[in-house]
Structure 1
Amino acid sequence: MNSSLAYLLLFLLPLSALAQKTSVTSTQKKPAGKLAPKPLYQDPVYDGAADPVIIWNKKAKKWFMLYTNRRATDSTAKGVTWVHGTRIGIATSRDGAHWTYRDTANIDYRPKAGYTHWAPDVVEDKGIYHMFLTYVPGVFTDWNHPRNILHLTSKDLLNWHYEATLPLANDKVIDASVYQMVNGMWRMWYNNEKDGKSIYYADSPDLYHWQDKGLALKERGEGPKVFWWKAQYWMIIDKWQGLAVYSSTDLVNWKAQPERLLEAPGTGRDDQAIGGHCDVVVSGDRAYLYYFTHPGRAKAKPAPENSTAAKRSVIQVTELRYLRGRITCDRNAPTYVKLLRPEKQISGY
């Protein structure tokens, strides 16, 4: 081998090793999981999916999404009746990234000919699923009517039995979020519409008997979602200007994060408007934000008011990121969803 060739090989070998290292690094940067589409999910009945909650169905071995099924495509609806008269839609998934419509929830509480079901939250305890559902006793053209939170139970997430109407602050309460605390007690946060739409809370030892505790957070917003992640508690609420984030170490005192999530419009399909009422699924050290948005209400090109385009809503998903005590997300980045079954996760508190 002549000296020129030897010199060339000595030069090329490090470059080859660097290229291999770069290729491995690039591969490692791609998150594990299935790439979620945009939008994540559209309701095939009324095209008005909103307020999602995600839970693992142990028997079916699938993820279930229960959501408010707004009647966006109902051309006969007057006033805000399209947001009333709703049932709870159900979609299922094996991976959390690809969803298929299943049915509407069979809820046995229908004391009125006309009724409205909104914003379910669902938890599982000892093999029984518990739904905490906002109930409006009719189909109305305006917002000035009672709303209560019902407790329902199920063994399959499809058929639901009425247990009770919860004794909360008053008869204008919506949007329950239920979480089991480290001492085994359950806590529910909800929106008290008569107190400036502030967040209130109630406690229960068993999910059946509740005691209202009053004000939790003097902030105007809807759809509270409470979860444990990165060694602290978080609450996210819908401010109609994006999602506000609060952190806590004790589930009593909450510190506001300056930045809101999903306030800036996205660039993906059907994702150019603010994000609303969300669920968060914590999976190992990762967390996913499932939210809804109105594609036709993008500031850049809003659809005519009261049009079907302005009413329709879809479900989207993005992965949460944690940086120096704050939560962020990039709704424009590809989202790779990898949901661990609850029994495979280690308790976070």
Structure 2
Amino acid sequence: MAQKTPVRPTKQPAPKPLFSDPVYDGAADPVIIWNKQRQKWWMFYTNRRATDTTATGVTWVHGTRIGIAESADGGTTWSYRDTANINYRPDRGYTHWAPDVVEANGQYHMFLTYVPGTFTDWQHPRVIVQLRSTDLLNWQYVQTLPLITDKVIDASVHRLPDGTWRLWYNNERDHKSIYYADSPDLQHWTDRGQALNERGEGPKVFRWHEQYWMIIDQWKGMAVYHSPDLLHWAAQPERLLELPGQGRDDQAIGGHCDVVVNNGRAYVFYFTHPGRSKANPAPANSIAAKRSVIQVATLEFKDGKLTCDRDKPTYVQLLKPKDR
């Protein structure tokens, strides 16, 4: 029987950085979900090999497995747990990137970017595969999604008001714009084409303050869009996490985030490359320039816009989700 430990929210602010991967020091692309079996919050993340001194080209971001961190205090502190046991690895040097995870009908579904090898450049196909699990640790392959092209990354899945599902992703062959696909049942998917004619990756879609939001990583901070219907998106002028913070390892732009809306509050979990600050950049291709860490900040809503101050203390108090 799985160990169950009650979540103990803390009154201490989240540390900076929130989490550093102890294996390769390359944590990126976080996604947060409640683990019912362990009664704790889990974080899945891309586990880049930042400290691999033998890596050439961009092989250090390939050949990766998905890391897992765990929080027993409502998301304030995190400890390394394991790598996800994903049974889909048909190619030598396989690469797992940027998962999104949702729960439905008593099972967890992961939508994972899969790259068929370890490559020195970016000129190779990647697909989004769907996996299924009952415990969040062991994952079985379900299908490769029938999307519009063979070079897609960064799934974000959200349940629509009518109970159906929508998945957004980055189409790298169409100027890295955002596309989407629909499913009535998390099994059958139909690609609907372009959702947003903007360059960016790592879309994250969520509902807060009576409207839908999409945040995308534009490599100069994260662009914010809002929508009444998940089809028509309007941009807000200001990007999030563009200006450097003052905290430890937080002086660079924020990238590829997850947003958790919980008990009326919203938290943005993002990653930074600490060695890529404009004020004091590390040498190109150095370990310092490659390493990445996970940070967290509180989202704020005012005058119809989202903002966040990464230098304000962030008191993360994620409560156990209500059963649906």
Specify the TM-score bucket, using the shorter chain as the normaliser. over 0.9
Say yes or no: does 1:294 pair with 2:294. no
Match in the other structure for 2:61: 83
Q: Does 1:165 align with 2:148?
A: no
Consecutive unaligned residues of structure 2, counting only runs of 5 or more, are: 1-9
* In structure 2, C-alpha distance between the alignment counterparts of 1:42 and 1:161, rounded to whole Å: 27
Unmatched segments (≥5 aa) in structure 1: 1-31
What is the CA deviation profile of residues 29-57 of structure 1, one whole-angstrom value per residue up to 9, with x for unaligned ones? xxx85410000000000000000000000
Question: Residue 257 of structure 1: which of 225, 232, 236 is its match?
Answer: 236
For 1:211, which of 175, 190, 196 is the aligned residue?
A: 190
2:17 match: 39
Contact 1:34–1:338 (CA under 8 A) maintained in structure 2: no
CA distance in 1, matches of 2:13, 2:148: 42
One-letter amino acid matched to 1:63: W
Count of aligned positions: 315
Equivalents in 2 of 1:62, 1:343: separation in Å?
Answer: 14
What is the deviation of 1:340?
Answer: 1.7
> Which residue number in structure 2 is paired with residue 125 of structure 1?
104
Deviations along 1:176-203, one digit per CA (max 9) or x if unpaired, are 0000010000000000000000000000
TM-score of the superposed pair, with normalisation by structure 2: 0.96
Counterpart Cα distance in 2 of 1:202 and 1:342: 27
**CA–CA distance in structure 2, aligned partners of residues 114 and 319 of structure 1:** 38
2:254 aligned residue (275, 294, 304): 275
- Please give the residue correspondences for 1:108-187 in structure 2 after superposition, counting only pairs within 5 Å: 108-187=87-166
2:26 corresponds to which of 48, 53, 57 = 48
Partner AA of 1:342 in structure 2: P
State how far apart, in whole Å, the 2-side matches of 1:205 and 1:62 are: 30
Q: Structure 1 CA distance, aligned partners of 2:263 and 2:206?
A: 13
**Which residue of structure 2 lines up, in the alignment, with residue 57 of structure 1?**
35
CA contact (8 A) 1:199 1:219 kept: yes
Partner of 2:227: 248
Please point out which of 56, 80, 93 is paired with 2:71. Answer: 93
Whole-angstrom CA distance in 1 between matches of 2:171 and 2:201: 9
Root-mean-square deviation (Å): 1.2
1:119-161 residue CA offsets vs partner (Å, 9 max, x unmatched) = 0000000110000000000000000000000000001111000
Identity of aligned residues (%): 72
Q: Which runs of 4+ in 1 moved over 2 A?
A: none
Q: For the residues of structure 2 that align with 1:158 and 1:289, how far apart are their CA atoms?
A: 24
User: Higher helix fraction: Structure 1 or Structure 2?
Assistant: 1
Superposition TM-score, scaled by structure 1 size? 0.89
Amino acid at match of 2:35: N
Which of the pair has more CA radius of gyration?
Answer: 1
